[in-house]
């Protein structure tokens, strides 16, 4: 039985009832839902399809062959999780979701995939003829990856997490580039299978990239700092006659904020190297 489960096989139709045909393959009988068949099949005819055990624990064969099979990898969508077992994924069968075992998932449950996340898997069958989803390893991702062409540094992109490591997160971008996310370049650690948005901060000689999911500096700064940046950008010479030595009244009159708020915003802009302060004025950094 093991060698004909989760496979594309050909068998003979040996019987039927109102709702099903019965197809025999290597001495094993599989049910075929008649709703799949447009024209009636004759007893004794050959039928080729994909075999599996459905949710009612009955052996079934279908002509709607999933892309994900033994040694055939594809992205499966997570539909739910079950504590102590793993996560269920949809591979395209109408009455069967496949489990990715807890043994292949992160130790920390908070990093397990959630509904809607996607995992690159193939199928394996154990000694009890149970079908499991098997995560693609690093070699598979290297085989399907595409090298970077052109300069994409600082470009925004989407990428999906496929491996979690102490050193950082490995991802596959929407354009099938391999990416790495260092812990310093993220606010929180993404889940396995999660799609994240980031930007390219480095391009390596091997064709892979480093990304960051941290907000850009101008997105991290507060409203007061944004206002100061906007004021600088609207001047002809990109500078203003203000500094941390300016009087509270002059700051209040021009910016409408207190000197304390002004100094905090100024400190943030200086730290992010967006401006320079010299000779009693501030200016946008070139």
**pLDDT single digits (tens) 3-39:** 899 999 999 999 999 999 999 999 999 999 999 998 9
Does any domain span residue 280?
A: yes
> What digits encode the pLDDT tens for the residues 120-164?
999 999 999 899 999 999 999 999 999 888 888 889 999 999 999
- pLDDT for residue 6: 94
Does any domain span residue 68?
A: no
Distance of CA 162 to the CA centre of its chain: 7
My answer on whether 223 and 207 are in the same domain is no
For 166-183, b/e burial (b = at least 16 CB within 10 A) is: eebbbbbbeeebbbbbee
pTM of the model: 0.75
* The pair of three-digit structure tokens given for residue 131, joined into one six-digit string: 């079908």
Structure confidence at residue 206 as a pLDDT band (50, 70, 90): confident
Does any domain span residue 67?
A: no
- pLDDT for residue 73: 96
> What digits encode the pLDDT tens for the residues 74-109?
999 999 999 899 999 999 998 999 999 999 999 999
Task: Indicate if the pLDDT at residue 209 is higher than 80.
Answer: yes
My answer on whether 153 and 206 are in the same domain is yes
Which residue, of 92, 117, 136, is where some domain finishes?
A: 136
Torsion-angle region of 92 (φ positive above 0: left; ψ -120 to 50: alpha; else: beta) = left
- pLDDT for residue 88: 98
My answer on whether 118 and 104 are in the same domain is yes
- From the list 272, 248, 273, 278, the residue with the least C-alpha distance to 262 is 248
Which residue, of 96, 111, 136, is where some domain finishes?
A: 136
My answer on whether 151 and 190 are in the same domain is yes
Based on the structure, what is the number of domains in the chain?
A: 4
- pLDDT for residue 220: 61
- pLDDT for residue 48: 96
My answer on whether 240 and 263 are in the same domain is yes
* C-alpha distance from residue 102 to each of 89, 108, 118 (Å): 13, 11, 16
My answer on whether 130 and 154 are in the same domain is no
Does any domain span residue 153?
A: yes
- pLDDT for residue 218: 57
- pLDDT for residue 221: 67
For 26, counting Cβ atoms within 10 Å of its Cβ (0-12 exposed, 13-18 middle, 19+ buried), the class is exposed
In the predicted model, what is the mean pLDDT of the chain? 92
Helices 223-233, 248-255: axis angle to 10 degrees equals 80
How far apart (Å, rounded) are the C-alpha atoms in residues 98 and 132? 6
- pLDDT for residue 217: 60
Beta strands 8-16 and 168-173 are: unpaired
Structure confidence at residue 225 as a pLDDT band (50, 70, 90): confident
Does any domain span residue 90?
A: yes
How far apart (Å, rounded) are the C-alpha atoms in residues 136 and 7? 19
My answer on whether 120 and 154 are in the same domain is no
My answer on whether 152 and 112 are in the same domain is no
Which residue, of 212, 229, 246, is where some domain finishes?
A: 212
* The pair of three-digit structure tokens given for residue 135, joined into one six-digit string: 């995560």
* The pair of three-digit structure tokens given for residue 130, joined into one six-digit string: 């149970």
For residues 170 and 163, is the Cβ–Cβ distance under 8 A? yes
* The pair of three-digit structure tokens given for residue 82, joined into one six-digit string: 């079950």
Does any domain span residue 141?
A: no
My answer on whether 187 and 231 are in the same domain is no
My answer on whether 131 and 158 are in the same domain is no
Neighbours of 222 (CB within 10 A): 11
Task: Indicate if the pLDDT at residue 192 is higher than 60.
Answer: yes
Structural domain harbouring 53: 2-62
Does any domain span residue 255?
A: yes
CATH number of the domain enclosing 101: 2.40.50.140
Does any domain span residue 55?
A: yes
My answer on whether 56 and 101 are in the same domain is no
């Amino acid at each position: 039985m093991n060698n004909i489960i989760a496979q594309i096989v050909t068998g003979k139709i040996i019987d039927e009832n109102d709702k099903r045909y019965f197809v025999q393959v290597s001495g094993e009988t599989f049910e075929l839902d008649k709703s799949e068949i447009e024209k009636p099949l004759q007893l004794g005819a050959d039928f080729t399809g994909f075999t599996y055990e459905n949710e009612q624990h009955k052996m079934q064969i279908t002509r709607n062959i999933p892309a994900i099979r033994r040694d055939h990898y594809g992205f499966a969508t997570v539909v739910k999780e079950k504590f102590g077992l793993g996560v269920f994924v949809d591979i395209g069968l109408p009455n069967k979701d496949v489990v990715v075992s807890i043994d292949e998932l992160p130790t920390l449950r908070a990093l397990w995939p959630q509904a809607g996340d996607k995992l690159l898997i193939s199928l394996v069958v154990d000694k009890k003829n149970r079908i499991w989803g098997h995560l693609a390893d690093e070699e598979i991702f290297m085989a399907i990856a595409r090298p970077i062409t052109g300069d994409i540094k600082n470009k925004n992109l989407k990428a999906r997490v496929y491996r979690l490591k102490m050193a950082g997160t490995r991802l596959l971008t929407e354009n099938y580039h391999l990416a790495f996310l260092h812990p310093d370049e993220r606010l929180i650690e993404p889940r396995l299978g999660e799609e994240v948005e980031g930007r390219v901060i480095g391009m390596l000689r091997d064709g892979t990239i480093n990304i960051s999911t941290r907000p850009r500096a101008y997105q991290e700064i507060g409203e007061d700092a944004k206002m100061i940046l906007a004021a600088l950008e609207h001047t002809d010479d990109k500078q203003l006659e203000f500094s941390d030595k300016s009087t509270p009244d002059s700051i209040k009159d021009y910016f409408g904020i207190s000197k304390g708020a002004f100094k905090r915003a100024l400190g943030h802009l200086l730290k992010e190297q967006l401006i320079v302060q010299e000779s009693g004025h501030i200016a946008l950094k070139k």
